[in-house]
Structure 1
Amino acid sequence: MTRTLFTGGKVFDGTGSPTAEADVVVENDRIVDVGTGLDGDVVVDATGHTVLPGLFDCHVHLMFGTPDLVHSLNTPFSLPFYEAIGNMRLTLECGITTVRDALGADLGVAEAVRRKLVAGPRMQIAINMVSQTGGHNDDWMACGAHVASIPPHPGRPNTVADGPEELRKVIRELVRAGADVIKIASSGGVMSPRSNPRHAHFRDDEIAMIVQEAAAAGIAVMSHAMSADGILTAVRNGVRSIEHGVFLDDRGIEEMLARGTWLVPTLMAPRMLLEQAAAGVPVSEVVLAKAHVVAAQHAESFRSAVDAGVKIAMGTDSGVGPHGDNLNELTLMARNGMKPAQALHATTLSAAELLGVDNELGTLAPGKRADVVLVEGDAEQHVVDGTLRQAIRAVYQDGVRVI
């Protein structure tokens, strides 16, 4: 077996230990040793670099690339599957070797990566988002037409449902289609013109049924939840993570702490939408107004969650805006209450724990998969400066250099 030695650099191992000088040794697809004075057959000189575990983004949409609905209406059905190949490449270039696709990618996209037909981050897929009638994933428009960015197809079942029994069937259909995680919308959202992000969606008996059915299949539930009540209902009924959490209040924080629920804040999401609107991308006035309200509140609730000690994992909502800017989320986290090392922890071990893969990924430790990222200079300082993406020099996935 060939031993590859990463030597001369400083290691951020993801465990919470401070960055320190160390070597990392990889054999085939596994890390076999981390320490000083190690040897190897092939030497990678990491002098002047920080060595990181492969990073995570826990909320992406690899099949999306713009909020422009007119553009989507004029896009051939199969084209986003091919565009996803480029989006996955851009994600890898950020040092992100694992993602959770929160709506869009189906089993075929995930399998293409698993079978190494295309290069991309390993992924967990939600396939579609479960929504109540009139909720965040109901594509009914005021004109009476149904207009979806990606319409339902054999690999992506329709997921608008009401009442526990309808929802039971929908969850089973998603599991049948290959979902690794169930995503619901327990509040309205920004980009759905007929929903209000301050309103809670689904009742306790509905979310309880969703969580029960997901648990029976051995998978977790993530909840798009912006409103305080929507967050609280989701958390008390057992969802594993709250996505966005814009109007998170003290009651919600207390419940999340009691139940060990993660927050995936996606601070980038409203900002990406506003930036694209400013650049001339057509965005409806209704959606734009909601984005302004959400952006103003988002950082405040995030700071409260950080101060209280809520578990946080990094997610961006990339696909609402451009792919490849994912690491800007770490800088926003650092500028809104997190220390740089905390932000890096949120995209390494904490994220791996959320996705249930911390036995394989998330840290540089013997026995773990050899996902390794080389960053020129001080990674923590790059988080502060917003220059981490530009400093990435190499990305390894399962011991193979992919970037």
Structure 2
Amino acid sequence: MSPDADPAAPRTVFTGGTVYDGTTAAPSAADIAVQNGRIVEVGTGLDGDEQIDCTGRWISPGFFDSHVHVMFDGVDYLRMIGTPFSLNFYYAAVNLKNTLDAGITSVRDAGGADLGVKEAVRRGVIPGPRMQIAIGMLSQTGGHGDDWEACGVEIPLFPEHPGRPSTVVDGPEQVRHKVRELIRNGADVIKVATSGGVLSPRDDPRHAHFRDDEIAMMVTEAAAAGIFVMSHAQATDGIKAAIRNGVRSIEHGIYLDDEAIQMMLDAGAWLVPTLHAPRAVIAAAAAGASIPPASVDKAKMVAEAHLDSVRRAHQAGVKIAMGTDCGVGSHGTNLDELAFMMGAGLSSLDALHATTASAAELFGVADDRGRIAPGLRADLVVLDGPAGEVGAPGELRRRVRGVYQDGALVSTGTTARQLA
């Protein structure tokens, strides 16, 4: 128990449920005792001052999404151009609530949210998951984060403002300065694009971006501040460059070859697949969203290779953390990613582990949350349905019945109204 804990605080027991503990162990019947926001005991026949009846339900650690963008919800360029700048912050509050309603209690915002958004959640101004933020994504000129269009103007996905600087850089010294600026602005993680991407206008997902000396500089400066680097990396060579220079997680990982997979194993790096993202782009375009045809074509081009890469990485034993890229797709649909990962060969328990303890380790918070064990934070999700079973896309999120942070109920799982 923490030295600041109140020994007289009420002890709440979640009773009668089946517990999934965050590992790949099968769920089993158990009670969970919570006091001062922490799990204090897991077992059977536990007593307490208050009881929460979970009979017929199962309890999981709060879910993690390792890759979101809370400052927008669905890609539609004409709509984005017509949206007032400050309105996006209000939309972010809705997106965060929808994410929390889905049982996601911790997120890593991979670009867009600034320190003010994170602080609004931390201070209780708005409800939402615990946040780590990247603020922006380092991109070379002409790279995945360069918003220059062929007509000669820039149409930024995330407009610059005092809390979110431009992140287009070239050369190690520009990189050094920008990483330090992002850290000054509150970044918990540094994000880089070491390859082209699907939604950016003038690049190719199969091409590597940045050179080794530039990536090494990012990692060095991040390490000096005690944080990690995550890499948007779709191209094979871009993946290898990131791993070779100490990047902690590969986001997307669309074109993995056997050498890249072995490099990830040797380095202990994570794969954050985001299988959700290209599906969302294709579906949005089919529904009439304003998305450049080239981006839709790229989303279709990568789909088969993406699934195959995740399958082979999992079979080889690469560590996987769940991430969706929600923002590209709708917030609140995050748990659909687990079904997509199962389509790449993960079992239900593998997918759940990627969404709990494995992601907590990636975030660097495994000693605080991500498992159901004494001493850890009581971020919990209560769900209907077969314990530890993910089901088809859409099924798991519809079974969320209670979301708890520090043992306090913060959502009953009802998806918040999404603004048009």
What TM-score, normalized to structure 1? 0.99
CA contact (8 A) 2:13 2:50 kept: yes
Q: 2:311 & 2:343 partners in 1: Cα distance?
A: 10
Please give the residue correspondences for 1:3-402 in structure 2 after superposition, counting only pairs within 5 Å: 3-384=11-392, 386-402=394-410
Q: Deviations over 1:204-247 (max 9, x none)?
A: 11100010000011110000000000000000100000000000
Q: Which moved more, 1:376-385 or 1:316-325?
A: 376-385
Q: Which moved more, 1:383-392 or 1:123-132?
A: 383-392
Q: Deviations over 1:35-90 (max 9, x none)?
A: 11111111111111111000000000000112111111111110010001110111
CA contact (8 A) 2:27 2:387 kept: no
Letter paired with 2:122: R
Letter paired with 1:222: M
Q: 1:385 & 1:66 partners in 2: Cα distance?
A: 18
Q: 1:381 & 1:211 partners in 2: Cα distance?
A: 38
Q: 2:88 & 2:409 partners in 1: Cα distance?
A: 26
Q: 1:402 & 1:53 partners in 2: Cα distance?
A: 14
Q: 1:149 & 1:209 partners in 2: Cα distance?
A: 26
Runs of 4+ in 1 over 2 A off after TM superposition: 379-386
Give the superposition deviation at 1:146.
1.1
Q: 1:383 & 1:161 partners in 2: Cα distance?
A: 43
Q: Report the 3-state secondary structure (helix = DSSP H, G, I; strand = E; otherwise coil) of the residue aligned with 1:382.
A: coil
Aligned residues between the structures: 403
Q: 2:282 & 2:85 partners in 1: Cα distance?
A: 27
Q: 1:71 & 1:379 partners in 2: Cα distance?
A: 41
Letter paired with 1:113: V
Give the superposition deviation at 1:386.
4.5
Give the superposition deviation at 1:17.
2.3
Letter paired with 1:11: V
Gaps of at least 5 residues in structure 1 are: none
Gaps of at least 5 residues in structure 2 are: 1-8, 412-420
What TM-score, normalized to structure 2? 0.95
Q: 2:231 & 2:119 partners in 1: Cα distance?
A: 24
Letter paired with 2:360: A
Q: 1:381 & 1:220 partners in 2: Cα distance?
A: 32
Q: CA RMSD in A?
A: 0.9
Q: 1:348 & 1:321 partners in 2: Cα distance?
A: 21
CA contact (8 A) 1:266 1:315 kept: yes
Q: Report the 3-state secondary structure (helix = DSSP H, G, I; strand = E; otherwise coil) of the residue aligned with 2:391.
A: helix
Q: Report the 3-state secondary structure (helix = DSSP H, G, I; strand = E; otherwise coil) of the residue aligned with 1:295.
A: helix
Q: Report the 3-state secondary structure (helix = DSSP H, G, I; strand = E; otherwise coil) of the residue aligned with 1:127.
A: coil
CA contact (8 A) 2:15 2:30 kept: yes
Q: 2:392 & 2:264 partners in 1: Cα distance?
A: 28
CA contact (8 A) 2:18 2:387 kept: no
* Amino-acid identity (%): 60
Q: 1:42 & 1:382 partners in 2: Cα distance?
A: 30
Give the superposition deviation at 1:325.
0.5
Q: 1:227 & 1:105 partners in 2: Cα distance?
A: 26
Letter paired with 1:59: H
Closer, same or farther: CA 400–271 of 1 in aligned 2, 3 Å: same
CA contact (8 A) 2:25 2:349 kept: no
Q: Which moved more, 1:218-227 or 1:296-305?
A: 296-305
Q: 2:60 & 2:224 partners in 1: Cα distance?
A: 35
Q: 2:387 & 2:338 partners in 1: Cα distance?
A: 11
Q: 1:301 & 1:380 partners in 2: Cα distance?
A: 25
Letter paired with 1:188: G
CA contact (8 A) 1:334 1:383 kept: no
CA contact (8 A) 1:379 1:388 kept: no
Q: Report the 3-state secondary structure (helix = DSSP H, G, I; strand = E; otherwise coil) of the residue aligned with 1:305.
A: helix
